[in-house]
A and B are shown apart, each in its own frame.
Chain A
Amino acid sequence: MQDRPTADELLAAVEGFLRDDVMPNIGGSGSFHARVAANALAIVRRELTHEEAHLAAEWDGLAELLGAARRPESRDAERTMLAARTAELCDRIRRGDADDSEFRRQVLQHLRMSIRNNLLVSNPRWIGE
């Protein structure tokens, strides 16, 4: 167990430094890149907050489309398997399974959820959050 500040608090400190101290004082393209860097830290902070819930939602969504599977214990193994299952979904789309059917409706619904979650982390304003 680490002492305070927490990971999120540390990231917030660096993000604040980039926005409040670096950006206004560096000028030119440096200011632009400082903003990009601060935004990147904000993305990481949101990802740390949402990661567990989003991975679970992704897992459940794919299970509904492709059938149930045993969910790995470790997060790394879960990521690897999510990528493999998503690649399997891609194969089914390429075979034409989602061209026009109930399956298409389900796939679109799953993608709405999954991409919405990605945007909640990467750019919440894109979805009005």
Chain B
Amino acid sequence: MTSNELEERLAVFLQRQYAGAAVRVDNLRLLTGGASRQTWSFDAIIRETDGETSVPLILRSDPRATPGIVTGKTEFALLQAAHEAGVPVPKVLFMGDQTFDVPCMVMERVEGETIPRRLLRDGKYATARKAMTPQLGEILARIHQISLDSPGLKALPDLAGGASPAAYQIDKFEQLYRAITPDPHPTFELAFRWLRERARTMSKIVPALVHGDFRIGNVIFGPEGARAILDWEAAHVGDPMEDLGWIAIRSWRFGNDDAPVGGIGSREEFWRAYEDAGGVVDAERVHFWEAFSNLRWGIICIMQAKTYLDGRSKSVELAAIGRRVAETEWELLQFMEEW
């Protein structure tokens, strides 16, 4: 769809949503492309009797429906539930309809920055750096408290595997690895066995909503701190400690290796804020999930590089990411030698 076509269709669609008010679409531009998921930014100019209102909005199209990826109605419901639970998220407004060629939704546009290097290095974000670790701890506790009985959340992928999400996820990623890897990885072979052994003796869990990709890079921040949590596609029912492990892996520290939480904060500060907001930290399980998260990220790197190797993408970024697998292997060796 060309930008002009989209502009027209959006105006027609929004006119209906805003009860027949005259709506014009301004400043439409593609933020992130890709065949599977597009994000467009635009302003809806709504004409009312006493003048015009400009509403900053986002149109996001869905990727092709993939099992285990949260999209469409479920994502819409999830973002609504998060908003109601006090989690900062872009407020979702409308589900797209047949006006558009692909499933999509309209949400409010949260202005700010997402690039981790800017957060970690720019003077402009000094206050944000101080504020973010406790903010993220508190936000994560709120996410984990969202009721699984909230409307629309029944369709979330259940990765709790009864009461052992750890064993379930090791199996899932082992299968994925075996299906796609172009090279043998002895470190991953050791890690599958080693993690499975640890999962066997882990305490039982109470399944909760897990964000699944909670890290800087998926947070919109401003100079004052966190403004919105993005990228809910990996959300699932599982062990909440998974999110605490995932955020702490070295790959999300962007060079600030001595600050485990996103290259900005300590585990202690993050955990304290999480507990102050009503969460309960199980340090041993977090440690397990941190080790597992390195394996998961390593296999995702293989998966992304594979899209280049198979000719499905020409992206130099996806090609180069294949060489990042070694980073996760190095971290896994550390875990296996130190435990």
Which residues from 96 to 129 on chain A have a C-beta closer than 8 Å to any C-beta of chain B?
96, 98-99, 107-108, 111-112, 115-116, 118-119, 121-123, 125-127
- Is A70 interfacial (CB 8 A cutoff)? no
- Asked if B316 and A36 make an inter-chain contact with CB atoms under 8 angstroms apart, the answer reads yes
Count of A interface residues, CB-CB < 8 Å: 31
Residue picked from B185, B255, B324, B326, most chain A C-beta under 10 Å: B326
* Interface magnitude class on chain B: 20 to 34
- Asked if A122 and B187 make an inter-chain contact with CB atoms under 8 angstroms apart, the answer reads no
- Asked if B324 and A122 make an inter-chain contact with CB atoms under 8 angstroms apart, the answer reads yes
Cα-based distance from A89 to B185 in the complex (angstroms)? 9
Cα-based distance from A94 to B174 in the complex (angstroms)? 12
Q: Could you list 5 further interchain pairs (A-B, Cβ under 8 angstroms) beyond the known A32-B317, A33-B316, A121-B323?
A: A87-B184, A90-B186, A111-B190, A115-B330, A126-B327
CB nearest neighbor in A for B330: A115
A-B interface pairs (CB < 8 A), number: 73
- Is B329 interfacial (CB 8 A cutoff)? yes
Which residues from 301 to 337 on chain B have a C-beta closer than 8 Å to any C-beta of chain A?
315-317, 319-320, 323-324, 326-327, 329-330, 333, 336-337
- Asked if B327 and A119 make an inter-chain contact with CB atoms under 8 angstroms apart, the answer reads yes
Residue picked from A43, A83, A112, A126, most chain B C-beta under 10 Å: A126
Cα-based distance from A99 to B190 in the complex (angstroms)? 8
B interface residue numbers (CB < 8 A to A): 183-187, 189-190, 193, 255, 315-317, 319-320, 323-324, 326-327, 329-330, 333, 336-337
Residues of A near B326 (CB, < 8 A) are: 115, 118-119, 122-123, 126
User: Closest Cβ of chain A: how far from B20's Cβ, in Å?
Assistant: 37
Contact of B186 (CB < 8 Å), options: A37, A40, A86: A86
CB nearest neighbor in B for A119: B326
- Asked if A43 and B189 make an inter-chain contact with CB atoms under 8 angstroms apart, the answer reads no
- Asked if B323 and A126 make an inter-chain contact with CB atoms under 8 angstroms apart, the answer reads no
User: Closest Cβ of chain A: how far from B104's Cβ, in Å?
Assistant: 21
- Asked if B327 and A40 make an inter-chain contact with CB atoms under 8 angstroms apart, the answer reads no
- Asked if B185 and A122 make an inter-chain contact with CB atoms under 8 angstroms apart, the answer reads no
- Asked if A126 and B330 make an inter-chain contact with CB atoms under 8 angstroms apart, the answer reads yes
CB nearest neighbor in A for B337: A108
